[in-house]
């Protein structure tokens, strides 16, 4: 299991922003917007709760979206394993997330996935 994590991190280290992403069926998914290496110690993601008596600046800051913008259980997994945020026309929100273990290869300046685009989690 630990060896698999090392391999995933090695693959992630070869990905750079702006690279094209292609799914398992050869379909263009989009381009890499963010590369986040995994942190095995990441356990949970908790959004800050706004203080109703706070200033407008504090309220705006507390409402700011932090990455990854997905349900908490998936966010914890993404943070542990590492992920890509991909700008994509395939999602209504304009972006999808790719788990490090969904990357098959990185060759010729392209990220090739081992899953179809439909399996990728859209940004919320």
Tens digit of each residue's pLDDT (9 = 90 or more) over 13-53: 999 999 999 999 999 999 999 999 988 776 554 444 444 44
Task: Please count the structural domains in the chain.
Answer: 1
Which structural domain range is residue 66 located in? 2-122
Q: Which of the two residues, 81 and 41, has the higher pLDDT score?
A: 81
Contacts of 100-106 with C-beta under 8 Å, sequence gap 24+, read: 100/8, 100/9, 100/11, 100/12, 100/38, 101/4, 101/8, 103/8, 103/11, 103/12, 103/15, 104/24, 105/11, 106/11, 106/14, 106/15, 106/19
């Amino acid at each position: 299991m630990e060896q698999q994590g090392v391999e995933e991190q090695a693959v992630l280290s070869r990905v750079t922003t702006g690279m094209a992403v292609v799914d398992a069926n050869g379909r263009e998914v989009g381009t890499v917007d963010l590369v986040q290496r995994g942190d095995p110690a990441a356990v949970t993601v908790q959004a800050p709760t706004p203080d109703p008596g706070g200033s407008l600046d504090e309220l705006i800051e507390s409402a700011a979206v932090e990455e990854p913008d997905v349900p908490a259980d998936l966010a914890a997994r993404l943070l542990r394993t590492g992920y890509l945020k991909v700008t994509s026309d395939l999602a209504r929100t304009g972006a999808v997330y790719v788990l490090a273990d969904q990357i098959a290869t990185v060759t010729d300046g392209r990220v090739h996935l081992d899953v179809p685009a439909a399996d990728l989690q859209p940004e919320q």
